[in-house]
Structure formats: structure tokens, C-alpha cells
């Protein structure tokens, strides 16, 4: 019989891996890693394993030996995200480092030895967009985001992007649409939010369970705290603040615009507005989150569904939808509800696109938003 392997398992018996636990060769949880957001576990037979863990938006690699010792493989203060190639040559593993601007470099690690980092590869383009990691205090801990700013002194128009997922949806190295917005004279903040797990497992559950929504929303409050910090620092122009989000991030946009907020305009990109109408496995996951059905606790599900309060939206809202997406019906219903409530909203459908847009359609949608927001 072969030796059992180090591995990870979902802390919850669901298809969606919300929180990973590292298990040793006896199947026991490695307790010292329980509180970390874990990405991958690479077993090293007869020695231990390598584990990728999140440090805010950075991703590092630690080693766990069969004897139970744990030590970092990558620098703990590195402004980067690291990945491990599960294949190896003898006792050597290949690692890839992705920097803040998306540039990549490779390294090798010898079992029990030091990390040997190669010289940087060429950046993804000749003039990579300067991006820095920013953090700000919020209820429950510290949020982080990736900030790109255009040339010149601020304050700049600020565009906030909210990622999908939400788990592992944002990490250092995610350049995203930074170059597009900075070329249009705007700063871009890619903000993380509590539902991703950045504040830990306990705080991740609060927005997933819709605790106190719509008045209390840990995801929304944390994002708005970050915007407020950038305004206070003179980076963002308070009169020119915009937000858009994709999928789970689009759902968060819909929640934000039904609350008090500072944005001049917003866009929901293939994100839902009514969790009460989900079907299939998605419905089962939402029931698991809240611990009840919509019929048992309509107040809880109404609070989590912006569709229940379209009249609360006072900001122009663009709804971007893929014609082949499973969110298309929700997008159309949300637009219809906003129209009936007299809200300034547009529904833009890309007929040939699914939930994930092709590059040309993605760029076309960005250009449409830039025009509607008055960004040259």
C-alpha cells in the first residue's frame, strides 16, 4: 500500500470550496494552518508538502514536514503571488512569482533547501501599469485592494472594480482592466470584500448568510471604507466616483446602489439582483448559506435581494448581460423593475456572449462604460 498524502479538503460538504483545510498523512487537520486561506497543497512523498496560503492579497508558499515543522519557502513580505508546479525534477520544484504589475519570474526550490529565484522575465508589455497594494481598516479587520493611478497629481476620477467568485477572486498580480482605466485618466481600485474570506472564515460567513441586510452589509461597508480613504488621501475625486462588478461582484454592486453610497454611476456586469429566484444547484447553495428556504424566511431573502427595493436606487445603473448567460433573465427582470420605479438604467445585451465575455466584447463593454461616465 502506498503512503497516504497531504491534501486539502473542503471545510463544508458542498461543491463550492469555501474554506480549505490542510490534512496530514493520517487525515488530521494541520491546526496551525486552519485560519489561513489555503489555495493548493502539493504532496512531497516521504518529506511533507508545499502549501500556498493567502496573506491578504499576496500568496506565499510554506512547507509542512512529516515531522510537523512549518516554515516559509517564499519571502513572507514579498509583494507578489506565488504558484507551485506540481511536477518536479528530482528534489526540485518549479515556482512562478507574479508581481504587482503582472510581470512574472520563475524560481526553483530544492526539498529542504533554499529558494533560487531567476532574473525577472520581460513584463507583459513595454510600459506596465504601476499598481500598488493598499489596505484600510474596516469592521472586522483590514480590507485590501490593488490600486492603479494615471500620471499626474490627483485627485483623479476613481473607478472601483468588484471581482467575481467571490473566493480567490483577487490576488496580487491581477492586472485586470487597470491599463484601460488609467489611459482614460481614472484610477482603478480593485477591491476585495469580506465574502472572499480576506477577513477570515468567520467574517466570510456574515455576508453569505445575509446577516442584517440590507442595512448591514459587511461587503459593501468595507468597500466604501476604502473609497472614503482614497478620497481623504486626495487620490480620488469625490464628485467622480464609479463602480462596476462582475458576477458576484455585480451582485454586490446591486446591493451597494440600494444603500447610501458616494458613486455617481454604477454598472452590474452579469450579476444577479434576486437570489430568491435561483434554481438548481445554485439555489441549494444559497439555502445552505442562509440555513433556510425563501419560503421559511422571506425577510432574510428579501434583504439579500436588491430586486425587492428597486425604488432605493438613485444612481444611473448600467446592466451588462451576456445573451447566452444563465443570468440573462435576472438582468432583464432587474432592468424592468428599475424602469417601473423610474430609475435611470440601461440594459446592454451582448447576444453571443456567455457569462465570461470574449476579449473583444469585454473591451467594447468597457468603452461603453467610459463613454457613459464621461471618461475620455
- Which architecture characterizes domain 131-372 according to CATH? 3-Layer(aba) Sandwich (3.40)
Q: Inform me whether the pLDDT recorded for 157 exceeds 70.
A: yes
Mean pLDDT of 296-322: 97
Q: What is the pLDDT of residues 32-42, one digit of tens each?
A: 999 999 999 99
Closest CA to 179 of 4, 370, 308, 371: 370
Position 14 scores a pLDDT of 74
Confidence of residue 311 (pLDDT cuts 50, 70, 90): very high
Residue 160 bridge partners (DSSP): 189, 243
Position 202 scores a pLDDT of 93
Position 16 scores a pLDDT of 74
More confident residue, 124 or 361: 361
Please state the pTM of the whole predicted model.
0.95
Domain 7-117, CATH class in plain words:
mainly beta
Q: Do 224 and 262 meet the contact criterion of CB atoms below 8 Å apart?
A: yes
Residue-range domain boundaries for the chain: 7-117, 131-372
Confidence of residue 120 (pLDDT cuts 50, 70, 90): low
Mean pLDDT of 194-219: 94
Position 1 scores a pLDDT of 45
- Tell me the percentage of the chain whose pLDDT exceeds 90: 88
More confident residue, 114 or 205: 205
Closest CA to 8 of 51, 70, 58, 63: 51
Position 121 scores a pLDDT of 60
Position 376 scores a pLDDT of 85
Position 251 scores a pLDDT of 98
Position 9 scores a pLDDT of 92
More confident residue, 121 or 197: 197
Calculate the average pLDDT of the chain: 94
Q: Inform me whether the pLDDT recorded for 111 exceeds 80.
A: yes
DSSP SS3 for 94: strand
Other Cβ atoms less than 10 A from the Cβ of 250: the count is 26
Mean pLDDT of 286-309: 96
Mean pLDDT of 130-153: 95
Q: Inform me whether the pLDDT recorded for 123 exceeds 70.
A: no
Q: What angle do CA 134, 138, 141 make, to 5 degrees?
A: 85
Position 168 scores a pLDDT of 84
The terminus-to-terminus CA distance of the chain in angstroms comes to 66
Q: Do 25 and 3 meet the contact criterion of CB atoms below 8 Å apart?
A: yes
Q: Inform me whether the pLDDT recorded for 354 exceeds 60.
A: yes
Q: Inform me whether the pLDDT recorded for 119 exceeds 70.
A: no
Closest CA to 205 of 221, 218, 220, 192: 218
Q: If you write DSSP's letter for every residue of 95-145 in order, what string do you get?
A: EEEEETTS-EEEEEEETTS-EEEPPPPPPSSSSPPPEEEEEEEETTEEEEE
Position 2 scores a pLDDT of 58
Position 122 scores a pLDDT of 54
Q: What is the pLDDT of residues 9-62, one digit of tens each?
A: 999 887 677 899 999 999 999 999 999 999 999 999 999 999 999 999 999 999
Amino acid at each position: 500500500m502506498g503512503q497516504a498524502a497531504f491534501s486539502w479538503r473542503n471545510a463544508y460538504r458542498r461543491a463550492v470550496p469555501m474554506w480549505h483545510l490542510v490534512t496530514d498523512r493520517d487525515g488530521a487537520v494541520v491546526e496551525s494552518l486552519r485560519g489561513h486561506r489555503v489555495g493548493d497543497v502539493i504532496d512531497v512523498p516521504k518529506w511533507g508538502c508545499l502549501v500556498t496560503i493567502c496573506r491578504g492579497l499576496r500568496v506565499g508558499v510554506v512547507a509542512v514536514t512529516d515531522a510537523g515543522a512549518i516554515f516559509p519557502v517564499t519571502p513572507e513580505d514579498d509583494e507578489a503571488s506565488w504558484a507551485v508546479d506540481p511536477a518536479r525534477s528530482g528534489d526540485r520544484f518549479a515556482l512562478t512569482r507574479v508581481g504587482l504589475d503582472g510581470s512574472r519570474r520563475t524560481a526553483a526550490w530544492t526539498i529542504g533547501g533554499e529558494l533560487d529565484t531567476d532574473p525577472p522575465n520581460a513584463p507583459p508589455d513595454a510600459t506596465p501599469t504601476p499598481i500598488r497594494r493598499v489596505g484600510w481598516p474596516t469592521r472586522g479587520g483590514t480590507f485590501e485592494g490593488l490600486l492603479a493611478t494615471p500620471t499626474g497629481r490627483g485627485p483623479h476620477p476613481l473607478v472601483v472594480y468588484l471581482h467575481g467568485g467571490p473566493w480567490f477572486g483577487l490576488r496580487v498580480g491581477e492586472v485586470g482592466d487597470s491599463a484601460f482605466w488609467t489611459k482614460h485618466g481614472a484610477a482603478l481600485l480593485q477591491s476585495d470584500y469580506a465574502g472572499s474570506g480576506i477577513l477570515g472564515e468567520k467574517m466570510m460567513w456574515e455576508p453569505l448568510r445575509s446577516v442584517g441586510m440590507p442595512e448591514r452589509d459587511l461587503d459593501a461597508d468595507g468597500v466604501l471604507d476604502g473609497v472614503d480613504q482614497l478620497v481623504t488621501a486626495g487620490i480620488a475625486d469625490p464628485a467622480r466616483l464609479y463602480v462596476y462588478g462582475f458576477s458576484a461582484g455585480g451582485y454586490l454592486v446591486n446591493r451597494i446602489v440600494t444603500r447610501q453610497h458616494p458613486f455617481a454611476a454604477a454598472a452590474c456586469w452579469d450579476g444577479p439582483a434576486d437570489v430568491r429566484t435561483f434554481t438548481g444547484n445554485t439555489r441549494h447553495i444559497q439555502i445552505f448559506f442562509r440555513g433556510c428556504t425563501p419560503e421559511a424566511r422571506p425577510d432574510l431573502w428579501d434583504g439579500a435581494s436588491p430586486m425587492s427595493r428597486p425604488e432605493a436606487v438613485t444612481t444611473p445603473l448600467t446592466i451588462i448581460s451576456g445573451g447566452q448567460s444563465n443570468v440573462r433573465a435576472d438582468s432583464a427582470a432587474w432592468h424592468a423593475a428599475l424602469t417601473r420605479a423610474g430609475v435611470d438604467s440601461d440594459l446592454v445585451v451582448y447576444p453571443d456572449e456567455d457569462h465570461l465575455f470574449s476579449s473583444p466584447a469585454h473591451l467594447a463593454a468597457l468603452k461603453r462604460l467610459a463613454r457613459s461616465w464621461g471618461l475620455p
